[in-house]
Amino acid sequence: MKKKQSYMDTTNILSEGLLTRFFDLFTGRGSSELSKEERALMKSRPFKKALSGFYKQLEQNRKSIDKTAKEYGFNVDDIIKTWED
């Protein structure tokens, strides 16, 4: 009998569980799984402001990378694909 394959990507265990739950916390998905303290944190103004600042900085970094890549004539996605191989 053939052994059943797991659906989980064992080469990337961290993102399969821990990071998924972390990002779900920020995006609001899975809010029924949140504790009372976590729900209060998600509704707090300072946390929302900090999260907004985080996403703005992330977008600025992405634009900077795209600008630099265009300036030097390379594609970041192609470089990432070579790392995956």
CA dist 40 → 18, 27, 48, 50, 65 (Å):
21, 14, 11, 15, 35
**Are 55 and 78 in the same domain?**
yes
Amino acid making up residue 53: G
Q: What is the DSSP letter of 17?
A: T
Q: Is 7 domain-assigned?
A: no
Domain range holding 32?
A: 14-43
* Better-scored residue on pLDDT, 46 or 29: 46
**Are 67 and 83 in the same domain?**
yes
**Are 35 and 71 in the same domain?**
no
In the structure encoding, which two tokens stand for residue 18, read together?
């821990």
**Are 82 and 51 in the same domain?**
yes
CA distance 61 to 46: 22
> pLDDT digit string (tens) for 1-40?
555 555 555 555 554 565 666 666 666 665 567 788 888 8
Q: Is the pTM of this model over 0.85?
A: no
